[in-house]
Chain A
């Protein structure tokens, strides 16, 4: 079955720097890749997603890139702010699965003021 690897597990950056989190998936037929942000004491929340027919998508300071050949996708956060501190999860969706997401193991991002 589908497997998603996520790196790094922890990431510390200075406020204003960029942060990059990378994920690799195993099922070449996967076609949907969302990113969720989990703040302390809360449930995950969707922040951006990308489909397999798109190479890059941006939303203000966050962007996601997808390399289907290499089967990996990345989350890019520019001009980081303390409120970006959270756990970030990538996920992929196996083809034919009913709203089934396989999540990565999470990245704890700490933005130092």
Chain B
């Protein structure tokens, strides 16, 4: 089944403890991206990647890192999480970098930082 898989689904951590949220897609998609979803703010892009070893900042990149060493994986790293990073996170991929190429989203990771 074609899908984007995120892990974990739920994560509770403390301020300053490094964490990684994994994302993997099995569709050989070129483009991958991370979003955060907050009430009243919709979906905001954190980072994106147009291909292996090519990443760039989105609209809210502060406090996050990403890497794209393999085409299928695009982990999101929080080096020193803070409470304002408590949010619902989505990884997404699309076949090409064209804007009309539909985004396929994972089922989300709900992160709580205390």
Instruction: List the one stretch of B13-21, B39-47, B62-70, B72-80 in contact with chain A.
Output: B39-47
Number of interface residues of A (CB under 8 A): 25
Counting contact residues on chain B (CB < 8 A from A), the size range is 20 to 34
Query: Quick one: CB contact mask for B82-98 with A, threshold 8 Å, 1 for yes?
Result: 00000000101010111
A103 at the interface (CB under 8 A from B): yes
Question: Does any Cβ of B come within 8 Å of A61's Cβ?
Answer: no
Please provide the chain A residues from 90 to 110 with a CB less than 8 Å away from any CB of chain B in the complex. 93, 97-101, 103-106
What is the minimal beta-carbon distance from B53 to any residue of chain A, in angstroms? 16
Interface string of B10-54 (1 = CB under 8 A from A): 000000000000000000000101010000111111001010000
Q: Is the CB of B103 within 8 A of A101?
A: yes
0/1 interface trace, chain A 14-50, chain B, CB 8 Å (1 if under) = 0000000000000000001010100001111110010
Chain B residues positioned under 8 Å from A6 (CB to CB) = 42
- Determine if A99 and B99 form an interchain contact, defined as CB atoms under 8 angstroms apart: yes
Q: Nearest Cβ distance between residue A54 and chain B, in whole angstroms? A: 12
Contacts of A49 in B (CB 8 A): 100, 102
Question: Total A-B pairs in contact (CB under 8 Å)?
Answer: 64
A43-B105 contact in complex given A99-B31, A104-B42, C-beta closer than 8 Å: yes
Q: Which of B48, B90, B94, B98 contacts A43 (CB 8 A)?
A: B90
Whether, in the assembled complex, A73 has its beta carbon less than 8 Å from a beta carbon of chain B, the answer is no
* Contact between B102 and A97, CB atoms less than 8 A apart: no
**Chain A residue with minimal CB distance to B101?**
A99
Q: Is B107 an interface residue (CB 8 A)?
A: yes
Chain A residue, CB-CB nearest to B6: A43
| C-alpha gap A46/B105 in the complex (Å) | 9
Interface residues of A (CB under 8 A from B): 4, 6, 9, 32, 34, 36, 41-46, 49, 51, 89, 93, 97-101, 103-106
